[in-house]
Structure 1
Amino acid sequence: MSKPLVLVLNSGSSSLKFALVEAQTGDAVVSGIGECFGLDNACIAWKGEGIDKQEVILQSGDNHHQQAVDIIVSLIEKEHLGSDLCAVGHRVVHGGEHFSQATLIDDSVIEKIESLSSLAPLHNPSHVVGIRAAISAFPHLPQVAVFDTAFHQTMPAKAYTYAISQKLYRDFGIRRYGFHGTSHYFVSREAAKQLDKVPEQTNVITVHLGNGASVCAVKNGKSVDTSMGFTPIAGLMMGTRCGDLDPSIPEFLQKQGWTPEQIHKELNGNSGLLGVSELTSDCRGICEAAGEGHKGAQLALELFSYRVAKYIASYMVALDEVDAIVFTGGIGENSLPVRHLIMMNLRVFGYREDVEANEKARFGQPGMISQQGTPMALVIPTNEEFVIASEALRFTMQ
């Protein structure tokens, strides 16, 4: 008996990530990415079970998202997977306060996603482009939006409210929204399984570390606080984003003659690991250079790990008890130096690294990286595509 497949799409302004996911297991049959949309070197590449890596150069023009989806359609037909395809799941970064769960897409939902573009100008417009391309290619399949912000809609007012005039919240929706919701949701549920508990009785601090990074306090299975805020720039130091910053600094730079566009680019694209190290935004390069004595890389590594540990420590306040700290994301799952430094910074709370276990928990291998008898720290690989596929599958059963 064939297994139901969901096409998972993550559409960016100049890219389109995709995966054909077995919705009941989370296994990706095919996965790929289209890149450099809008440029002459736009292309799409993929690989899968029994499929060697392939790449196609897209034709010049301004319809690269549609071209990419058309190629995905051809791929599905070529591999005879169309009969198993039951839905299309779309990752959408910002759902504001309108969406607290996955939603079947219709014209009104598209309109609402577009209306939230001011909150995610680099993401939501691109999601709409990808959604429309998918609807054109698969008009008879359910199209489901899964929002990064949805998991965090359970935060209490004391966690999501900024200490500013409430008129700004009422007029402009300025509050903490949080992101990486599908990742925090997935690993918190996986952690509950490993702890032999139900999610509703599980309290964990999930730590998603990648080029984008965030921490989430999950109390009885629900998000009660998270480090990203009104936009994804807030919270932790990241690959190129500054994270938390004195709000007077942008004003200061404007008085020095900087434009808002220059400030935005600096804080989003030239800061973080890249800005501090003056070397690279890639954590692997940072760790390697730090080991070779590069002062900027050493500072970037120490600063990144220190700020993660501070957020973890602060989120203990949001929980009655902490069952485990859970590391995930590209850095969280693979970087020994980062996890080592974070654990060292948390020694005051009793955390002790199991060095051998920490070395084993890499490249997709989960595991406990804390010593027996000390507060628990886990590594759990995330699977956001599985969450999106599972959510989309629900709408085929209604």
Structure 2
Amino acid sequence: MTPVLVINSGSSSFKYQLLDMDTESTLASGLVERIGASTGSGTGLGIARHTVHAAALAAPDGPAPTVVDATRTRELPIPDHTAGFQVMLDAFASDGPSLEDHAPVAVGHRVVHGGARFFEPTVITPLVEINIDELSVLAPLHNPANLAGIVAAKQAFPGVPHVAVFDTAFHQTLPPAAYTYAIDREVAASHRVRRYGFHGTSHKFVSEAAAVFVGRPLDELRQIVFHLGNGASVTAIDGGRSVDTSMGFTPLEGLVMGTRSGDIDPAALFHLARRAGMSIDQLDDLLNKRSGLLGLAGSNDLRDVLAGIDRGDEHARLAFDVYIHRLRAYAGAYLAQLGGADVISFTAGVGENAPLVRAATLQTLGFAGVEIDPERNAERGRGIRIISTDSSSVTVLVVPTDEELEIARQTLSVART
């Protein structure tokens, strides 16, 4: 057994998953949230959830476990990430699997922003920590939280390598024409303004899984991957290399998302600043937290938007139409950039579970050889599945993403060298 622990740390929470990389199965997973929370009395209560996957722990020749998943939820004070990691260790000790018997050989950390410095999984040294901290200027909501998780995890697991896997790394193959903004080059260089792209771990996992599924070498395929969740992005992938992606300097650019606007004329912000008196912070809040589906339809959940359409809500209908219009625009742009596509994949919460979105996005792409099979598209399933017709010249897939597994794979590849 080769256990690897994966950590995804936020400012007030962190998710974790222990995987056996011999079988690429999950042994246990958990969530520690409301770190540093404070009540009116000044006593903070965090919440910890720990799930054990008993089936994964059964001996190969032993009896089948009677419980597949066992979940325990606890509420207790969690003042900081270090305390949060102690809660996680306590959960392993009380609920299993025992870390004495399943001690991780490495710990992988999701880090959102690697700038132009990090283009591959990297063993975390003090210098790497300094670089992650310096890059916080590009991701102030994410990198400091990622670093807090790293510091706490290194205290909890001091004897194993810790590896940073960067969301931006997969997009370091973007050509200059794709990552360069047409602004004064000295200003851009001085302040590191360029397209970085995000969701790279998911795009990498999905594109490689799709290549295996269709039975063709990755380096021969032209792929478009739609990662559609509350955050959403699309990437053009040529021969396994990201050549264009919708998110840019920040995760705000590109598609319409749950609460984010995606593409917008920058002059609209000048107008709102001058005419509405909105500050930089107010504009930031508007575009990141009060726009997208929420701003148009009153909910950031696509299921609510679709329910609103069924009720005849015109705002919901417009929100959906704007959402699809943007998806089609990027699909067409990336078909042009790639000179056509061999595989188009949908992943993440919306991409995997919203047949209407998939059908509407590709409805106008018959000219590119895309044909969707309505029955296949409507079917529910857990694994990778084809939703295009047998005669379609482009294979269209639904590919469940697994960013934790991808982080574990990359972590192990570095830890073993």
Q: Please indicate the TM-score interval, normalised by the length of the shorter structure.
A: over 0.9
What is the RMSD computed on CA atoms of the aligned residues?
A: 1.5
Q: Indicate yes or no: 2:155 matched with 1:136.
A: yes
Instruction: Please list, as runs of the form range in 1=range in 2, the aligned pairs for 1:234-249 lying within 5 A after superposition.
Output: 234-249=253-268
Measure, in 1, the Cα distance between the counterparts of 2:212 and 2:91: 36
Q: Indicate yes or no: 2:79 matched with 1:81.
A: no
CA drift of 1:350 comes to 3.5
1:344-370 C-alpha deviation (Å, 9 max, x unpaired): 2333434222111112244x2321111
Q: Indicate yes or no: 2:53 matched with 1:53.
A: no
Q: Indicate yes or no: 2:30 matched with 1:32.
A: yes
Task: Provide the residue aligned with 1:23 in structure 2.
Answer: 21
Measure, in 2, the Cα distance between the counterparts of 1:259 and 1:110: 33
1:162-199 C-alpha deviation (Å, 9 max, x unpaired): 01111122101100000000100001001111221111
Q: Indicate yes or no: 2:325 matched with 1:311.
A: no
CA drift of 1:144 comes to 0.4
Q: Indicate yes or no: 2:402 matched with 1:383.
A: yes
Residue of 317, 325, 331 corresponding to 1:298: 317
Partner SS state of residue 116, structure 2: coil
Task: Provide the residue aligned with 2:217 in structure 1.
Answer: 198
Contact preservation (8 Å) 1:287, 1:337: no
CA drift of 1:21 comes to 1.6
Task: Provide the residue aligned with 1:126 in structure 2.
Answer: 145
Task: Provide the residue aligned with 1:371 in structure 2.
Answer: 389
CA drift of 1:209 comes to 0.3
Partner SS state of residue 251, structure 2: coil
CA drift of 1:292 comes to 2.4
Distance 1:26 1:308, change over 3 A: farther
Residue of 109, 132, 143 corresponding to 2:128: 109
Measure, in 1, the Cα distance between the counterparts of 2:141 and 2:76: 22
Distance 1:251 1:42, change over 3 A: farther
Partner SS state of residue 252, structure 2: coil
Partner SS state of residue 243, structure 2: strand
Contact preservation (8 Å) 2:206, 2:225: yes
Partner SS state of residue 185, structure 1: helix
Distance 1:205 1:361, change over 3 A: farther
CA drift of 1:90 comes to 0.3
Q: Indicate yes or no: 2:343 matched with 1:327.
A: no
Amino acid at match of 1:210: G
Residue of 244, 252, 258 corresponding to 2:271: 252
- Rg bigger for which structure? 2
Measure, in 2, the Cα distance between the counterparts of 1:13 and 1:378: 34
Contact preservation (8 Å) 1:306, 1:345: no
Task: Provide the residue aligned with 1:7 in structure 2.
Answer: 5
Contact preservation (8 Å) 2:123, 2:415: no
Contact preservation (8 Å) 1:209, 1:331: yes
Seq. identity, %:
41
Amino acid at match of 2:92: I
Instruction: Please list, as runs of the form range in 1=range in 2, the aligned pairs for 1:337-376 lying within 5 A after superposition.
Output: 337-362=356-381, 364-374=382-392, 375-376=394-395
CA drift of 1:397 comes to 1.7
Deviates more, 1:380-389 or 1:80-89: 80-89
Distance 1:329 1:173, change over 3 A: same
Partner SS state of residue 351, structure 1: coil
Contact preservation (8 Å) 1:26, 1:385: no
CA drift of 1:15 comes to 1.8
Partner SS state of residue 204, structure 1: strand
Q: Indicate yes or no: 2:280 matched with 1:264.
A: no
Matched residue pairs, number? 392
CA drift of 1:60 comes to 5.7
Measure, in 2, the Cα distance between the counterparts of 1:201 and 1:361: 29
Measure, in 1, the Cα distance between the counterparts of 2:365 and 2:340: 16
Contact preservation (8 Å) 1:287, 1:297: yes
1:45-86 C-alpha deviation (Å, 9 max, x unpaired): 12131352211223163x1x2222112122333421343311
Task: Provide the residue aligned with 2:59 in structure 1.
Answer: none
Amino acid at match of 1:49: H
Amino acid at match of 1:46: H
Please list every run of 5 or more consecutive structure 2 residues that lacks an aligned counterpart in the other structure. Answer: 39-44, 55-68
Amino acid at match of 1:383: D
